[in-house]
Amino acid sequence: MYIAIEGIDTAGKSTQIAALKNHFPDAIITKEPGGTVIGKEIRALVLSAKTKSTRAEFLLFLADRAEHITEIIEPNLDKMIISDRSAVSGVAYALTQTDINTKDLVMLNDFATKKIYPKKIFLLRLTKEELQYRLSQKELDGIELRGSEYLLQIQENIKKASEFLGLTLIEIDATKPINKITEEILKDIAND
């Protein structure tokens, strides 16, 4: 089963993926962007916030996505795959900052992914207050420097993106205790 853990920066994706790895020790753990050698370079470029064109940034994400599907996801579809982000984030970011219409966003992502999408997407949802607190506790990267309002818009667009792509989204309150969030995810996986 291919699943993705989605959420804005500081939502707890890495923490939940580490917890899930304990329950699925043979799972393929990956991330997008940055799950491949080329993806690491693309991720570093995007996080540097050097691109002046939002379309260029979007196309970099698509390049990473195509490489990720070919190298990591497609060869392992018979296994448990747990991904830190997916095409859903890419579409959510594009909805927030580009003038690309929805039809083109879906078509370009279908092309990049060969229409291979996670079976389930878990969105770790943060409140504005919790997000601001968590951001205040760390050094911010280029994306986080865009501010909490920007990140909260991404969070809302993750929901829209999953709808546009026709994917199952399960929303989880990311302010709950870590073990309770893990239990919710595991229960939903088991019900499949």
DSSP letters spanning 48-93: TT--S-HHHHHHHHHHHHHHHIIIIIGGGTTS-EEEES-HHHHHHH
Question: What pLDDT shows up at residue 145?
Answer: 66
Question: What pLDDT shows up at residue 52?
Answer: 81
Look up residue 30 and give its amino acid. T
Boundaries of domain holding 57:
2-190
Question: What pLDDT shows up at residue 33?
Answer: 86
Mean pLDDT on 118-141 = 88
The CA-atom distances, in angstroms, between 78 and each of 2, 20, 178 are 9, 18, 28
Question: What pLDDT shows up at residue 45?
Answer: 85
Distance of CA 174 to the CA centre of its chain: 15
Backbone CA torsion sign across 8, 11, 16, 18: positive
Written as six digits, the tokens of 88 are: 């859903």
Domain count of the chain? 1
**Is 80 exceeded by the pLDDT of residue 140?**
no
Question: What pLDDT shows up at residue 46?
Answer: 79
CATH number at residue 88: 3.40.50.300
